[in-house]
Amino acid sequence: MEGMSEIDFEKLAEIELRKDEAENADLEESQVSFAAVSNGDAEISPTHPYYDVARHNILHLVGDDNLGRKVIAFSCCRLPPSYQLNHRRLLEYLKYALDQYVENDYTVVYFHYGLNSKNKPSLNWLQSAYKEFDRKYKKNLKALYIVHPTNFIKIIWNIFKPLISHKFGKKVIYLNYLSDLRDHLKYDQLKIPQEVIRHDENLRTKQKKKPLTTVKIPPPRPPLPTQQFGVSLQYLKAKNKGELIPPVMKHTVSYLKRKGLKAEGLFRRSASIQSIKEIQKLYNQGVESSLRVMNCREIVHGLPEQNYAVLKFLICFLHMVSQESIFNKMTGSNLACVFGLNLIWSPKGTPSFSTLVPINIFIGLLIDFYATIFSSRSVPGEQLP
């Protein structure tokens, strides 16, 4: 790609788009007929300041991701031919629409299917758009999902690569099929254009895979007795002695009443993904109950003196590692997955999958609650890292 001019890139991008059009020729007729009867999912008032752009429903709010952040979708199949759309107005509209969400963490889903040689913006427009979407827009963007990427995307990426920071580049996630979105978003909330759904089914047929509608999804695992997330309010009431308010809500509100009411910008920013996942995991496992930690301490304190000293030395170090997880990404649970089977051996040979979970939970508790579990017993000559 080195040595290519902007004009060369533009020509190469045009070639790739025409290839995409040729490959998807079998869907073109259905796309046109659909566009003729529907411009989107929502009615736009003629008084909207950007009615000329907004009426196409190119950009729309589609729900939340798995961490409760707003999801905004951009659908290329709804872009009209370039002669029918002022691309400068399109850029102004995109900024106007995103301004409603960028103060909080948000996610964008880009449906690439439908971009063609007739409706694609120019390379100059893309460059000016990237520059105008400054730090205000990029800072709180937590993920950009590009669905159904093609070689055209690779070319555009090569053009912008020198301008894109490594930090922003890590937010870009490529997804080949719509079903891949299920791992990241509340899929049932998405309002996916019918053209995109048909294209996805066509891709699966070409790859000799079953259509999305016939894919068998395995039944969900039964919840843990202490499960707090992903279960109904009725389940929580039954498991918490008839309490109407879920424990996590009571604990959070209680803490905020004591320490957070005067915090500037309260609720404006969400916590990191890692922190949220860790808190959810801890609540789901019940470690809010001191009983489980106390049981771990009793087990550990029953070890012979040298075994205890060696274990304490190692867990102390692993606890130090976990305290820097914001940098090294090794939380207590991640470390437990690495060290669990090395510290607890099964007398019956290789452990089964069912025993891996409690082993890792146990070691994770030792790491996360090191001070509580190990502080009350010391042995002569013991050393700590």
Q: Cβ atoms within 10 A of the Cβ of 58, count?
A: 22
Give the residue range(s) of CATH 3.40.525.10 domains in the chain: 6-214
pLDDT mean across residues, the chain = 80
CATH number of 270-385: 1.10.555.10
* Alpha carbons 362 and 292: distance in angstroms, whole number: 9
CATH number 3.40.525.10 given to 6-214 = yes
How many whole angstroms separate alpha carbon 185 and alpha carbon 258? 33
Q: Do the Cβ atoms of 123 and 9 come closer than 8 Å?
A: yes
Q: pLDDT tens, 161-208?
A: 777 777 888 888 999 999 898 888 888 888 889 999 999 988 888 776
Q: Which of 138, 134, 215, 212 is nearest to 169 (CA)?
A: 138
pLDDT (average), residues 23-49: 54
Q: Is the full-model pTM beyond 0.75?
A: no
Q: Are the C-beta atoms of 48 and 54 separated by less than 8 Å?
A: yes
Residue 333's H or E segment, with its range, is helix 332-343
**Pairwise CA distance, residues 207 & 193, whole Å:** 22
Model confidence over 53-64: pLDDT tens digits? 989 989 888 878
